[in-house]
Structure 1
Amino acid sequence: MNSQADRLAHATSTSVEDMRVAPVELLLNPSIPIDPRVMQIDSEEETWMTRIMNYLTKGIQPDDPIEVRKLRIKAARYAIIDDTLFLKSFSGPYLRCLDPHKAEWVIKEIHQGTCGNHMGGRSLAHKALTQGYFGSYMARDAEQFSRKCDKCQRHAPFIRQPAEELNPVVGPWLFARWGMDIVEPLPTAVGSKKFVLLATDYFTKWVEGKAYKMVTQTNVVRFV
Structure 2
Amino acid sequence: MVKSKIESPQTVFIIDDDEAVRKSLAMVLEMAGMRVATYDSAETFLAEDLSRCNGCAIVDMFMPGRSGLELQQHLIDNDIALPIVFLTGHGEIPMSVAAIKHGAEDFLVKPITVEKLLPVIQASLAKSELMQAKIKRQQEVKSRTLKLTQREWEVLRLTTEGFSAKEIARDLNISFRTVEKHKSSLLLKTGAKNMLDLLSDVLTSGALNEDDLGLSLKAE
Report which structure shows greater RCO (CA 8 Å, sep ≥6). 2
> TM bucket by the smaller chain?
under 0.3
Structure number with larger C-alpha Rg: 1
Larger fraction in helix: 2
